[in-house]
């Protein structure tokens, strides 16, 4: 029983594949249209994934500057350093004495004469710390905790860019979802019309099949395979478009990466994402064919 079922489905599969090859131009145009339609949301998704990975790379060890009070003593500085070392959220600590900060300021601004006339050093001692957490909420909580220490005058950390980036990523994911929904409807409509035309051209064959006792599932099966195969081919085309686009963009990003000394290479779709794309595109083709068959097949009755 199972063997006969597998033989029937295998025969229908190869006959459907033969039908696709028999009309190469029509099939190729439909596959290209579906591939381009699918590549648009997939492209935005790949961009969001790479942007998120890049933000994680740049914010993997955020820096925070701690400016001590001007009248702080050496014992207080050692106390702050010890408390920072005991904090599990802090990965690395760098102490910048106020004399070294003033000297660096003189070298970078060229105000050596003005700084020499100062009665005292106006700059405070400071710590630069690298934190383990890279989320905006955790960093803001750490900043408020350090700000309450009596030896610290001010804690400087710009977390606004992380919040803006997260908002941008959320917007991008919403755009991918909306675009994917709209283009999925378009692909279903394309497949709906394609199967409708096939049903009309095979009207006499369908009527004859029903006269000799063929069931609706038997008649429906080739059209469903046709839709699934075209959808699968459209997904493979979208994957190929994205692979070529990423490769081309990476070649253009080489110069930019060298100028900024950072890795700007775009990462392609993962294996899981690629399989999901193929399964989803095949399902869209099958669904469009299923709706079309359900809408038109019942109208054909043997005379």
pLDDT in tens, 250-272: 887 777 776 665 667 788 888 99
**Where does the chain show beta strands of DSSP type E?**
63-68, 90-96, 126-131, 152-156
User: Is residue 24 over pLDDT 90?
Assistant: no
User: Is residue 281 over pLDDT 60?
Assistant: yes
pLDDT tens-place string over residues 109-150: 555 555 555 556 667 888 888 877 666 677 778 888 888 888
pLDDT tens-place string over residues 74-118: 888 888 888 888 888 888 888 888 777 667 656 655 555 555 555
Domain residue ranges in the chain: 2-57+163-299, 63-156
238: closest CA among 191, 181, 180? 180
When pLDDT is cut at 50, 70 and 90, the band that residue 300 belongs to is low
pLDDT at 158: 59
CB atoms closer than 10 angstroms to residue 104: 12
Strand partners, 95: 127
pTM over 0.85: no
User: Do 67 and 153 contact (CB within 8 A), yes or no?
Assistant: yes
Whole-angstrom Cα distance, residue 207 to residue 187?
29
The CATH classification of domain 63-156, taken from the options 3.40.228.10, 3.30.70.3040, 3.40.350.10, 3.40.640.10: 3.30.70.3040
pLDDT at 132: 73
Whole-angstrom Cα distance, residue 134 to residue 159?
10
When pLDDT is cut at 50, 70 and 90, the band that residue 58 belongs to is low
């Amino acid at each position: 029983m199972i063997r006969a079922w597998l033989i029937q489905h295998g025969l229908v599969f190869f006959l459907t594949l033969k039908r696709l090859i028999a009309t190469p131009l029509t099939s190729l145009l439909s596959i290209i249209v579906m591939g381009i339609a699918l590549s648009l949301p997939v492209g935005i998704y790949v961009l969001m994934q790479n942007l998120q990975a890049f933000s994680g790379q740049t914010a993997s060890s955020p820096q925070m500057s701690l400016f001590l009070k001007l009248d702080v003593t050496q014992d207080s500085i050692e106390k702050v350093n010890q408390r920072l070392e005991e904090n599990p959220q802090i990965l690395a600590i760098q102490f910048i004495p106020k004399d070294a900060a003033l000297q660096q300021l003189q070298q970078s601004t060229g105000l050596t004469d003005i700084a020499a006339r100062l009665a005292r050093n106006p700059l405070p001692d400071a710590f630069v710390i690298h934190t383990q957490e890279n989320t905006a909420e955790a960093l803001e909580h750490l900043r408020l905790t350090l700000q309450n220490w009596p030896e610290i005058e001010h804690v400087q950390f710009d977390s606004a860019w992380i919040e803006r980036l997260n908002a941008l990523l959320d917007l991008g994911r919403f755009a991918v979802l909306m675009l994917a929904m709209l283009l999925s409807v378009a692909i279903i409509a394309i497949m709906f019309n394609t199967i409708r035309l096939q049903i009309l051209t095979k009207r006499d064959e369908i009527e004859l099949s029903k006269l000799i006792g063929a069931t609706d599932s038997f008649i429906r099966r080739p059209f469903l395979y046709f839709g699934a195969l075209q959808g699968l081919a459209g997904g493979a085309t979208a994957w190929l478009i994205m692979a070529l686009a990423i490769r081309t963009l990476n070649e253009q990003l080489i110069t930019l990466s060298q100028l900024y000394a950072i890795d700007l290479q775009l990462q392609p779709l993962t294996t899981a994402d690629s399989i999901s794309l193929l399964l989803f595109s095949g399902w869209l083709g099958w669904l469009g064919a299923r709706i079309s068959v359900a809408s038109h097949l019942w109208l054909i009755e043997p005379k």
